[in-house]
């Protein structure tokens, strides 16, 4: 648990810095999941932002005794281009997150919102 907590602290710091740079709202969403809301971004801009977060996490390590462990993150995102249905948006992003985990972790997956 101690290492997991340290990883969460590092990821939270990366997300905090991302939020400051991009005017995002970031919150912990469940045990080890976070959600970020960024408005006014195209799908391509959102993809670049998600990859920026993944890359910034990958640049960090956690010390476990004498071993440096990498910080990795799996990210799923979606973009809502018209209207706003938060429940559908979160379900769609969550599906993309689990696709990222299934496809090897430490990666970004996207899903277009169906509604």
Q: Based on the residue annotation, tell me whether 2 is a catalytic residue of this protein.
A: no
User: Are the beta carbons of 71 and 61 closer than 8 angstroms?
Assistant: yes
| φ, ψ for residue 78, nearest 5 deg | -145, 165
d(CA 65, CA 49): 33
Token duo for residue 83: 């209207």
Which DSSP state fits 107? S
Question: Which residues in 5-115 belong to E strands, given as ranges?
Answer: 25-28, 34-37, 61-64, 67-70, 75-79, 108-112
| Catalytic, out of 2, 10, 32, 33 | 32
Task: Enumerate the active-site residues.
Answer: 32
């Amino acid at each position: 648990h101690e290492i997991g907590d340290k990883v969460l602290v590092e990821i939270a710091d990366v997300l905090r810095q991302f939020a400051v740079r991009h005017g995002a709202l970031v919150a912990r969403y469940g045990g080890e999941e976070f959600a970020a809301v960024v408005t006014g971004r195209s799908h391509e801009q959102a993809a670049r932002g998600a990859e920026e977060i993944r890359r910034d996490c990958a640049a960090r390590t956690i010390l476990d005794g004498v071993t440096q462990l990498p910080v990795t993150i799996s990210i799923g995102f979606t973009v809502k281009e018209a209207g706003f249905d938060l429940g559908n948006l979160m379900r769609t992003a969550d599906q993309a997150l689990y696709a990222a985990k299934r496809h090897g972790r430490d990666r970004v997956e996207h899903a277009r919102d169906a509604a």
